[in-house]
Amino acid sequence: MSGRGEGDKKSVAARLVDMARERYVLGVSKDGEPFGAERSRPHLAILLRGGRAGLRADLAARYFTETGAVAGGQALTDATLILEGLAATQAPDKLNLRVADHHGTIYIDTGDPNGQVIKVCDGRWSMAPTAPVRFLRNTKLTGAMPAPSPRGDVTKLWEFVNVAVEDRPVLLAFLVAALVQCDVPHPVLALFGEQGSAKTTSTRSLVELIDPSPAPFRQAPRDADSWAVAASGSWVVALDNLSAIPPWLSDSLCRAATGDAMVKRSLYTDADLAVIKFRRCVIINGIDVGAIRPDLAERLAIVELRRIDPRMRQSEAEMRQRWETALPGIFGGLLDLAASVHHRLETITVEDSPRMADFCRTLAAVDEILSTNGVRRYMSRANQLSEDSLSVDPFIEQLRSRTLEPAVGQSGSDLLMLLTPVNDDWQRPRDWPKNGRDVSGLLRRHAPALRNLGWVIEDDGARNRRNVLLWTIYPPYKDVVAQRASQPSRLSLTQISENANFDRSQQKVLNADAKAGEGRTAAAS
């Protein structure tokens, strides 16, 4: 009897494999995950082991529908292993979430059961039944987009998202970039406002517009592992009502904006590894998230939400009904803008681009189309964030307040000794650096923000006689002028005027001065 049972299991497994090969094109993702795509809809892929929404579960259901019998667990396991082996023989294929680029044409997965996509090219958008790319569809977080109206108006969005006028182009550029740019870094959109400014409602509306999901929000994750799992399933990830951003979450948000990867051991194995890799569009909101680290500040696009007049408030049901009525028109208008931006992106240049250069080009295109000043607003906010991120660290604040003379050839230990107060009533802050290595780490982290404010800060890579990292730090020229003007005995105003070309753009000259200073020091000793 046992032999007959084994034979029945093998035959069931073989039938499951035949059913899968008949219905699906098998493949493997670039992350090594086997998948299947229906032959009638080859642009929609589901993972082989995708849980209740995966290919294995689909096979079990279809087997029961066709035979009236239940496929045993061992038969499903055997069939899955065979299908994994067949999929592994194929060349790796990229699986996209929501947005994909194919030779300059953008395809957007609408998420509807019929598999329709939105095609963006030549400054226009249109609906299409299929696409030459593959979209991952086994995630439960992929919701259906509204049917876009061909005569839409994106300005209707401001009836539901109460954004300051100056910030509107920045918000539109974020939404456009999420729809037409998939392989570039995206900024972290930060919606800040006081209590009563509809932060949660506004965030939900934005998510429903560009990446609708049954779960539009994520709770603040506990650690980097839970963040990676939560963020890997959606193209747009929204964190609601943050009150603080701890260092590990700040680093995770930065990596998600520019491209993140995490390697973990696969479940139920001793050797296999699972790779979670993603680049996402992230939205956060809150009243005040406290100190923001400089690397995250460089990646933020801040939008201010205005407080809603209590006399203008509506019930949730009424607001929801109005939003669902207006959504197709707003989405159609946003697609019109996105298509126009996509068409002219290659011709857009931005002088002195910030860290998020691709986003700044998108914002410049929005400005060009709508006659707005979003780039100026974005850059102004970036400078303000740089200032705020520096003021949080006590050592950097001490550096800025005391270093009004150039520091040439100083090690981290030298700077620590120079900047640590010696008066008896000074209390060492908890995060004050303990040694020269800590100082060098702080300088590297804050150097971009300092440069944005006019400082010149460079290290020599430890290429010196001491074989330690030596720093050259010049304060902003305007601060030097102010300080030296108040001390004319040290440097005449005429000499200061002659040095008016001293600014952060002349780093080669400053580096030469730094080397000369080292030489004079060595000769004197």
Q: Please give, one letter per residue, the 3-state secondary structure of 42-95.
A: CCEEEECCCHHHCHHHHHHHHHHHHHCCCCCHHHHHHHHHHHHHHHHCCCCECE
Domain ranges of the chain: 2-93, 154-388, 393-524
Q: Is the distance from CB of 441 to CB of 415 less than 8 angstroms? A: no
The highest-confidence range among 182-191, 311-320, 385-394, by mean pLDDT, is 182-191
Strands 407-411 and 99-102: unpaired
pLDDT tens digits along 465-483: 888 899 999 888 766 555 5
The percent of residues above 70 in pLDDT, for the chain, comes to 85
Distances (CA, A) of 154 to 91, 164, 264, 438, 480: 41, 16, 42, 49, 48
Q: Is the pLDDT reported for residue 370 higher than 60?
A: yes
Handedness of CA 316, 318, 322, 324 (dihedral sign): positive
With tokens 């994520």, the residue in question is: 218
Q: Is the pLDDT reported for residue 522 higher than 70?
A: no
Fold of 154-388: Rossmann fold (3.40.50)
Report the pLDDT averaged over residues 217-223.
Answer: 80
Report the pLDDT averaged over residues 294-320.
Answer: 85
Q: Is the distance from CB of 134 to CB of 95 less than 8 angstroms? A: yes
Between CA 136 and CA 96 the distance in angstroms is: 6
Report the pLDDT averaged over residues 100-128.
Answer: 95
Report the pLDDT averaged over residues 283-287.
Answer: 90
What are 218's strand-pairing partners? 239
Q: Which amino acid is at 76?
A: L
Q: Is the distance from CB of 287 to CB of 192 less than 8 angstroms? A: yes
What angle, 0 to 180 degrees and rounded to 10, lies between the N-to-C axes of helices 224-231 and 247-258?
30
Q: Is the distance from CB of 280 to CB of 254 less than 8 angstroms? A: no
Token pair in block for residue 182:
């998939």
pLDDT tens digits along 194-209: 888 889 999 999 999 9
- Residue 102 φ then ψ, to 5°: -130, 100
Q: Is the distance from CB of 296 to CB of 188 less than 8 angstroms? A: yes
Statement: the pTM of the whole predicted model exceeds 0.75: yes
